[in-house]
Structure 1
Amino acid sequence: MTIRKIVLLLFFMTSSICAEGQEHMTHIFGKVEDSIHHPIDKAIVSIIIYRSQAGISFNTTNESGRFSFQIPDKYHIDSLAIKVNAINFEKLIKHPVLVNKDNLIQLKSLQKTLPDVVVKGTKPIVQKGDTISYNADTFTKKSDRYLGDIIKNLPGITVDNGGIISYQGKPINNFYIGGDNLLDNRYQIATDNIPSAEIAKVQVIEHNQHVKMLNGIVPSDQAAINVTLKDKGKFHVINNAELEGGIPGKWNGTIHNMVFNDKYKAINELKSNNEGLDYSRETGLSSLGGAPNLARSLSLFNKAIMPNLNNMYKFNKYKSLRINGYYLHDKQSTENESSTAYYLPGNDTVKYNESNKNSMPTDAFNIQLNYNVNSFKTYFDNTFSLSQTCANLGAEILSNGQNILQHNSTKNTSFSNTLQGYLQIHKKHLVNYYSSAQYSNVPQTLSISPGAMQDNLNDSVPYLNTYQFQRTSTFYTNNNISYSHIFGHWILGTNTGLNYQQQYFHSNVQLLQNNHYTTGLAEFSNDLHWQKEQFYLTPQIAFKNDRDQLNISAPINFTHINYFNDSVLTNRDKLNHIFINPLLSWQRKVGKENQFSFTYNFGQQAATLAQIFGGKLLNGYRNYSSYNRPLLIGSSQTFDIGFNFKKMLLAFFANIDLAYSLNENYYLDSQTIERNLTTVTALPINNSSKNISLTCNASKYIYSFNTMVAVNASFAHGTSQQMQNGVLFDVNNNISSYKLNITPTISDWLEVKVSTAYIFNTSSSTAAGFQRQSNSQFNETSSVIIYPVKHLSISFDNQYLQSSQTGQTISSAVLMNSYIQYNFQNPQWRKLQLRLSSNNMADVRYYNIVTTTNNMIATYRYLLQPRMLLLSAHFDL
């Protein structure tokens, strides 16, 4: 058969399938009339799900009172109802619904006289089906500048310091703007930049199913956020800029171009600053670690510039092309001092005193192209991504009186393509195909001067430099196809496919001697070839009705792993193993607004390349590791029970979650800690760890005081086994935390925001010489915003931190900021906002904090940004 004939055959088969999919619709029609059989014109007729009242489609009657709908067969007719509203008539819901027969609906006339009504605007919170809509104007405070500020005020929603949004304690799975996914998981670009004045509604879709053709078929247990803007029918363009400068020699500039329309959406920005503001939220790249519990900008010094482009073109309502990309040039630096003490079993103590001056120039770019078709009949998605990140981390270290220069250079280049789609055949059959491929190449160099660990690496002879080169290249592909059969409320399906991974890891170490000759270290060499194949089959069953949602799956995969190390001939192994990792997930609605959930998961884990290399690898100037773990490394069981409670009319949300995990490990990492050396070696010792945690959240919006109150309490207990300096012992860890956020608007001229957090943790063991450790941290931030006259605001905020260890206060700090801002309302001023701000008013230059981990106590001292006096202008372009 020729290629032309094959193509024609595939075309006719695809056309036939599409044609069949278009035929399977349910026809619902009828007539609306009054009690004396006169037709009612322009009555609103909706097809709804009877129990949840969620709408599916709506229309209006014509002059003859007639209406007609074509409803996809995926909605079972027994679950549907017809809802009719008409002016001067009583609302009526008809159930059951007749199919292919005339639904005759008679409405009763409303005769009573309505009392006087005072219009107070739309309801603050409304729920329709699985969608909760928050009216943005209700929850926006005068001081809120961006979308993210509004979201923090919404009951039931929390935002962490990294900008990650959670609903009822669980992270969201998608973020939409006007129903479109413009940003993927980098939605902080929207929350940090869209002005609060442009937001009409923030919606939570409780059981979000991103694939439209799977709505009502394949259940989801995660929520999504959708944001709607004001004047959404217009070609909504937002062009603005913010320019800031001040002493000592600081600047910050941002230019935005944002467009929101049914056909085109964009958030494009150009940013540059030297105020310590990194762009990790926009790029997802990590930066130099900052002081914990503080805004990263306080302890980060930098010079950065970043263009960031995000554009979506809509060919029609269901087809789109999305282009996301950025380029980042950033030079970061930090300074800190630390004192670390290990209280080892046997009454042995090892201490390190260090000071670090770190710098990291970074150049990175990423481009991603996505083509998506997402309709009620078709789903197709293809994403191509290309990225490169070059980072050069340098450190000037003073360790126990010795000066050390350490430099680590990394270049990560990768590209990938992912294709997936769904086909629905005869309404009862669902086919999903998925294919992804990725390649990455990561060379790294590590240079240490003077030569590191001379006692261990160079026979106790001093030398000039330690140089390590390593490279990891990876090719990975995953291809599968799944089939599901739909009948009633049940879905039976299976997923089958193949994973293939090929990796190569190379490393070697060279020592530059005082005579400028180089010598190699054979025990620090790796030439590891890794190959992994997985053939998998995943039978699964799902059930969904108006109250229950059940998912059961039992992934079965046959895994073959083969690796060998040319540099360490004993470092080789094979694995042929069948893994069965069952998962059970159940959610049940309790009443109209509450939900109970239960999840159980069992899994066995296989090792990765990073866990099995046999040659030693330098991790720093006093650390090296050697991992030769078994290929079957352990198993785990997790249980999770949760209950979500909400009262929409009271704007009250609460949830409680209890989680337990049991891990069985077939190896143990043994640490050897000495004054100038720390080594980690994997040993074939079976051990286990257990963790149990309880988390409670509650939030309420008090309308009469325009106040949001949120509380959180969590408790965690864990047990594990450790080996240090040849001694095996158990460790018990306990962590408890309490948080309170309250944002009262006391009057039109006064706002107050208060946030407090207290964390207490302990670690203990029965091992001889193990010292019980306890550590507590208290963090309080508050701000007062005053509006003395119209358009003028004055803000004072402070942050108080305290760190204690075994009942003694180790450190405390008070950081204060303030600003005065005036908004020019005359149109000729282009919505100009002038702000004069003072950051770190008390000029606190150092921040101290103590942390404990098991039998280790560490005290850190961070250099902070100096006092800044800044003048900024924010205006429309």
Structure 2
Amino acid sequence: MKYLLLIFCCALFSAQTTIKGKLQSSDQNPLSRANIILLDKNGNIDTYALSSADGSFSMVTNSYGDFTVEINAMGHTSAKQKVSFIRKGTVIDLKTLVLEKINTKDIKEVVITRSNPIKIKKDTVEYTASKFTNGTEQNVEDLLKKLPGVTVLNDGKIKVGDKEVERVMVENDDLFERGYQTLTKNMPTKPVEKVQILKNYSKNKLLKGVEKSEGIAINLTLKEDAKDQWFGNVYLASTSYIEDMRQGKINLMNFSKRKKIYLLYNANNLGLNEMNGVSYLINPESNKTVENVGNEISTLSMLNLHQKNYSFGDERTNFNNDQLASINYIYNFKKDWKLKAVTIYNTTENRNYTDSYYRFNYGGTAFANSENKTWKQNNRNVVGKLEISKENKKSNLVFYTKFSSLNEDNDNQFIFNSVPNFQKGDNRLSALENRLVYTKKIDSSQALVAVARYIHQDRPYRFSEDNNLASIISGNPLAKIMHQELNSGLEFGGVKLSWLNNFSKDQNLQIQTGTDLRKHQLSSNLQVLDANNQALIFDHSLYQNDVDFRKNQIFNQIDYNLTWKKDWKLTAQVFNQYLWTEFNQNKKEKLSVSPSFNLSYGTFRFGTLSINASKRYSTTEVDNLYTGYIYQGNRYFKSNDLDFALMPSYNAGITYNRGDQLTRNLMLSVSYTKNENYLSSKSIINPNYSFYQSILVNDSSLFMSMLELKRYIKFIKSRISINTTYTQSDYKSSVNNQPMMKTKFSNLKTGFEMKSGFLFNFNYELGYDWNFSFVKTEMGNNNYLNQKGFVNLYYNLSKTVVSKLKYEYYKSGNSNQKNTQFLDFNLNYNSAKYKAGFFIQANNLLNTKEILTYSLDNVSESAYIQRLLPLHIVVGINKSF
């Protein structure tokens, strides 16, 4: 097998053709940063490159045939060179190409009009939108999918090469931050003139060229006739009155240099999750940039009384009724001030229907349970954010305040082994976050950044459940209902000062120091009630909590980046923290030092080889420290047998990449992680309930490897990708008072994808994955296989009519399990004259009503049946204005 893989890799790279050369001005000076574009015989862009400081360039293609190399350099005449190659692995050397300088001595005025579809500047790749559109695009996302080197994932996130885009801006203003999918999925394409890919992007303009950044952002520039004009679109879709499913959406926007306004309203019960693009506003930002203090901070969530299926898209399983209204506003004042405001109002109703079968067999205990569950949840989210900033050439100041409010109501109906149970619950979240950032640019290579941040969160829960557990845990046959109240709160305050020094283009240093304080409060109480909701006497000492946890740290971090001989790069980091903790008046002090490094070597022909190693510490938090049992619902109780602890882990890895941004053909990575101690559990499991208690266990490991191969096959004009990942982990746990049991879990996922690039009206995508899981314990071995396949067929009936047929196949568990299939069809007609698109979409044409999934662990196996949205045909219109 390994020899076959070696042969395939050799064939893969030998298939590439390299075109190289050197550019020189007529005065014999080298031409750097000139654009070199490879065009096929139809004028389509195959690949492109940028000349280096000595004028040399090199680009790689998987294609062969007749091509044109087009060269453009500022202040020089353009040049074109015909090339042709029919053998794989060809190296074409164009030698030295001379471009004539444009003489401007006797010219009073020169107007240069260029029609280059791609322009490459220092850190910017600029695409002319009109060169990549054909009138069938309904939004910016459709345009981005057609740009070379840009990939749009299923969830709307965007990648350039192998890096995820951080934000999408309009005329250099950021309206949606990390939730840019709302913009790209809704903004019309017609007003867009240019799409700029910004490499080495820094959100803070004063840190551009000072901080070591590998961030990627996209900026959309607009046509002149679209600026300071209201435009947008209206989207209306509906099924027949029998299914009664519909969607209505309106986007209204106005972009000018001084102000930008984006208004959105969306309502649907077609299964679409309207919070995907704006959910980032609810959770506090948690990153390690110099403009933030406080990591691993998230919205408090001690209970989850609702279950969603995350194995499939919302359009399959989300029985919903959602509304979303959003107002985004930016105003640029004349004197360096900027105001930014975001308001979100969202209501959701989500229902989920599952049947499950659970079988347990361990330590002399064997039983099986069946459950039918109807989950229903109503949410109301209100989020407001106000940001004010002032910026000049030497300093800037940014302040924002954000308020979040969540109301959640649950009304669930369960049938456990043919006995009805009912669960009702609600929880409320109110959160406030403030942050102030000040940046002072000392000179062109140095800057200081100071940040202060405060967060307050409060989240009470109340829920009741009617089942026989009340009488079992209380020993009172009159007990019918369990009622639990829980309150959790968080306060965080932190400050940090950072010094950045970019000594040269090859050497960069960052030093950060700061302190923060976190206060967590958690209280809970469980009662049992009779059929008339009257409280009964019950020793609930095991089911009460009153936790006060504080963690204060002083920290500093040093980041150093070094490049030498152009090919070698070193990134090193040392993070030190001194912790003071107080848990229910038990005080502790801890010191930790976390070093890490990454060393890489890379050349155009060899590729890039990187090795990395690190030592990291994680800590127990408030949800690991409460000692009384909290009822989580679903016959599940949880507590902890822990104190505050540092948990060190060691990681080492190696990664090899070969290829460039457009033709990345090979990626291989291997990593190994060793945990000195980690969180595990000891549990009591019987037919009626489960009690889980978190414990600290020594010694676990995780091995991960990944191989990705890509190749363009000329004779079928298709790109094939082969992806394989393997993970292996081991852990220990205790079940039903038995000795600690060691479990080894392994997973192998392998599959392929193919995507065509035909120039005529037909194209296709297809793929298949095999997912093998193996569980090995002292009691024996178990394994199962999940399979997934898909085929997407695209056919353009004309320039204005586009059709798509989508087929999906799933098979879960052992070989005798039932498979599940989906078939969807979409037909779009786009009218440029009326600025409208008309469509028919048929979802789940096979009317598949449910899907089965299968899983196992070291002591049990489970099968889940998920109800699906039935066959429905949607007719709609998308009108731009």
TM-score scaled by length of structure 2: 0.79
789, 804, 814: which is aligned to 1:779?
A: 789
Query: CA deviation digits over 1:682-728, x for unaligned, max 9?
Result: 335423232323242647698x9986655533222222223222242
Aligned CA distance change for structure 1 residues 555 and 633 (closer, same or farther; 3 Å): closer
Q: Are 2:470 and 2:480, in contact at CA under 8 Å, matched by a contact in 1?
A: no
522, 537, 543: which is aligned to 2:562?
A: 543
869, 872, 875: which is aligned to 2:873?
A: 869
Map of 2:75 onto structure 1 = 85
SS of the residue aligned with 2:183?
helix
Map of 2:763 onto structure 1 = 752
Aligned CA distance change for structure 1 residues 125 and 710 (closer, same or farther; 3 Å): farther
Alpha-carbon distance, 1:558 to partner: 1.1
Query: CA deviation digits over 1:321-351, x for unaligned, max 9?
Result: 221221011111111111122343x464443
Map of 2:60 onto structure 1 = none
1:705 & 1:320 partners in 2: Cα distance?
A: 53
829, 833, 836: which is aligned to 2:837?
A: 833
819, 823, 826: which is aligned to 1:812?
A: 819
Matched, 1:416 2:433: yes
Query: CA deviation digits over 1:522-560, x for unaligned, max 9?
Result: 221111111111112224433357655543232221100
Map of 2:572 onto structure 1 = 552
483, 487, 491: which is aligned to 1:467?
A: 483
Map of 1:482 onto structure 2 = 498
Map of 1:262 onto structure 2 = 257
Map of 2:640 onto structure 1 = 627
SS of the residue aligned with 2:726?
strand
Aligned CA distance change for structure 1 residues 792 and 655 (closer, same or farther; 3 Å): same
Alpha-carbon distance, 1:180 to partner: 2.8
Matched, 1:607 2:597: no
1:528-539 equivalences in 2 (<5 Å): 528-539=547-558
2:200 & 2:258 partners in 1: Cα distance?
A: 26
Query: CA deviation digits over 1:624-650, x for unaligned, max 9?
Result: 0111313114111223433444346x7
SS of the residue aligned with 2:542?
helix
Matched, 1:797 2:806: yes
Matched, 1:672 2:681: no
725, 735, 740: which is aligned to 1:724?
A: 735
SS of the residue aligned with 1:851?
strand
SS of the residue aligned with 1:423?
strand
1:274 & 1:450 partners in 2: Cα distance?
A: 32
1:548 & 1:213 partners in 2: Cα distance?
A: 28
Alpha-carbon distance, 1:162 to partner: 2.9
Aligned CA distance change for structure 1 residues 128 and 652 (closer, same or farther; 3 Å): farther
245, 250, 261: which is aligned to 1:250?
A: 245
Write the letter of the residue equivalent to 1:675.
P
Matched, 1:590 2:603: yes
Alpha-carbon distance, 1:50 to partner: 7.1
Q: Are 1:89 and 1:107, in contact at CA under 8 Å, matched by a contact in 2?
A: yes
Q: Are 2:427 and 2:460, in contact at CA under 8 Å, matched by a contact in 1?
A: yes
Aligned CA distance change for structure 1 residues 143 and 731 (closer, same or farther; 3 Å): farther
378, 394, 399: which is aligned to 1:377?
A: 394
Larger displacement relative to structure 2 (692-701 or 415-424): 692-701
Matched, 1:296 2:308: no
Matched, 1:733 2:745: yes
SS of the residue aligned with 2:321?
strand
Map of 1:848 onto structure 2 = 852
Query: CA deviation digits over 1:195-224, x for unaligned, max 9?
Result: 345555544444333333222332123433
SS of the residue aligned with 2:412?
strand
Aligned CA distance change for structure 1 residues 179 and 250 (closer, same or farther; 3 Å): same
Q: How many residues align?
A: 764
757, 767, 773: which is aligned to 1:762?
A: 773
1:316 & 1:707 partners in 2: Cα distance?
A: 52
Alpha-carbon distance, 1:390 to partner: 0.9
1:688 & 1:633 partners in 2: Cα distance?
A: 15
SS of the residue aligned with 1:872?
strand
Alpha-carbon distance, 1:290 to partner: 4.4
Alpha-carbon distance, 1:432 to partner: 1.5
2:369 & 2:681 partners in 1: Cα distance?
A: 22
2:752 & 2:510 partners in 1: Cα distance?
A: 45
1:49 & 1:719 partners in 2: Cα distance?
A: 50
Aligned CA distance change for structure 1 residues 766 and 759 (closer, same or farther; 3 Å): same
Query: CA deviation digits over 1:87-130, x for unaligned, max 9?
Result: 5999xxxxxxxxxxxxxxx997799xxxxxxxx99666665444
Write the letter of the residue equivalent to 2:274.
Y
Matched, 1:576 2:593: no
Alpha-carbon distance, 1:477 to partner: 0.8
Alpha-carbon distance, 1:135 to partner: 5.5
2:416 & 2:767 partners in 1: Cα distance?
A: 36
Matched, 1:714 2:725: yes
Query: CA deviation digits over 1:388-432, x for unaligned, max 9?
Result: 111112211111222111123111110101111321225564321
Q: Are 2:167 and 2:176, in contact at CA under 8 Å, matched by a contact in 1?
A: no
Write the letter of the residue equivalent to 2:499.
Y
Matched, 1:180 2:173: yes
Larger displacement relative to structure 2 (369-378 or 464-473): 369-378
Alpha-carbon distance, 1:663 to partner: 1.7
1:441 & 1:276 partners in 2: Cα distance?
A: 30
1:109 & 1:414 partners in 2: Cα distance?
A: 62
* Uncovered stretches (5+) of structure 1, i.e. residues with no partner: 1-32, 36-43, 55-82, 91-105, 112-119, 565-571
2:688 & 2:641 partners in 1: Cα distance?
A: 24
Alpha-carbon distance, 1:440 to partner: 0.5
1:873 & 1:578 partners in 2: Cα distance?
A: 62
2:388 & 2:624 partners in 1: Cα distance?
A: 37
SS of the residue aligned with 1:503?
strand
Could you tell me the percent identity over the aligned residues? 17
Write the letter of the residue equivalent to 1:665.
N
2:225 & 2:754 partners in 1: Cα distance?
A: 32
Matched, 1:637 2:642: no
1:294 & 1:423 partners in 2: Cα distance?
A: 48
* Uncovered stretches (5+) of structure 2, i.e. residues with no partner: 1-24, 28-34, 36-49, 57-72, 81-97, 104-112, 284-303
663, 666, 670: which is aligned to 2:675?
A: 663
Alpha-carbon distance, 1:811 to partner: 2.1
Write the letter of the residue equivalent to 2:452.
S
2:602 & 2:258 partners in 1: Cα distance?
A: 38
SS of the residue aligned with 2:210?
coil
